Amino acid sequence: MTKATSLRRAMAERGLVHVMATHSPLSAILAEQAGFDGLWASGFELSALYGLPDMSLISMTQHIEMLRAIAGRTSLPIVADVDTGYGNAINVIHTVREYERAGASAVVIEDKSFPKVTSLAVDGHHDLVRTEEFQGKIEAALATRSDPDFLVIARTEALIAGLGEEEALSRARAYEQAGADMILIHSKKQHPGEIESFSKAWDGDIPLVIVPNAYPELSSDHIRALGNIRMVIYGNYAIRAAATAMKDTFHRVIADGGVQHVHRSLLPVDEIFRLQGMEDVRADERRYLR
């Protein structure tokens, strides 16, 4: 059974899967140990890791290299954020082929124009491509995947662009018609009203995906009650948690004039060794080094 098959099966059996953002193999290991169902190879998080804005500045090569490194250190299925697919439908063919080969079990492609601006930017220019053009991208992705269970998730940014629910529904229906496996509906409102309304109005046969970054009060029980959402992606929490911890630690070291206090609140080095798999290396040394 492929990881893509296991992801589909988890949604069918559990009704809702929880997918945590990741930007490195270490964050992937921690997410798996915490009990998440899958990983989100986040473009926002990788951009932040490089200290760059999420504006299509990170290349596909950089994304693929990190995806491959993450896939090598986890058994979880990976949902890859490919933004706009790096161009038109021809670029999408190359994108899907390379991401699947690198270890992704799904891709999320959004209907913005390239280059894109991160969805939560208040003053961002959120220009969408024509519906027919995006249908071609979906069809290209579906024709390219080698594993029939590999998920092609169509993300509409109609609500992000301020175009309203009817436009979002119209686009989502067109993307389902093109063959998309799921629809990711995104909102930057600081309350879940837009998402709840869309979910209740959605009359398609394929399930929804949401990313409750702007409206964190939407709990899993509430999401389940909506009835047609099968995947929730926690889209920027790993990098925010890491940045919070590093910022706090670095300021404390400067304030204290050393690490004599802060070290007590950090993971011990032995725990980092465990996450690195040092015991396995030691076992291999005992077995093979002569």
Cβ atoms of 92 and 111 within 8 Å: the answer is: no
The token pair that represents 206 in the structure block: 């394929």
CA 79/CA 202 separation, integer angstroms: 23
Cα 211 vs. chain centroid, distance in angstroms?
9
| Active site (annotated) includes residue 54 | yes
Give the containing element (helix H, strand E) for 210: strand 208-210
153-164: buried (b, 16+ CB within 10 Å) or exposed (e) per residue?
A: bbbbbbbbbebe
Among 18, 43, 44, 45, smallest CA distance to 32 is for 18
Q: Partners of 107 in the beta sheet? A: 80, 152
DSSP per-residue letters across 73-124: T--S-EEEE-TT-SSSHHHHHHHHHHHHHHT-SEEEEE-BPSSP--TT-TT-
CA 153/CA 156 separation, integer angstroms: 10
Residues 37, 54, 111, 149: which is the catalytic one? 54
CA 119/CA 233 separation, integer angstroms: 14
The residues that are catalytic are 54
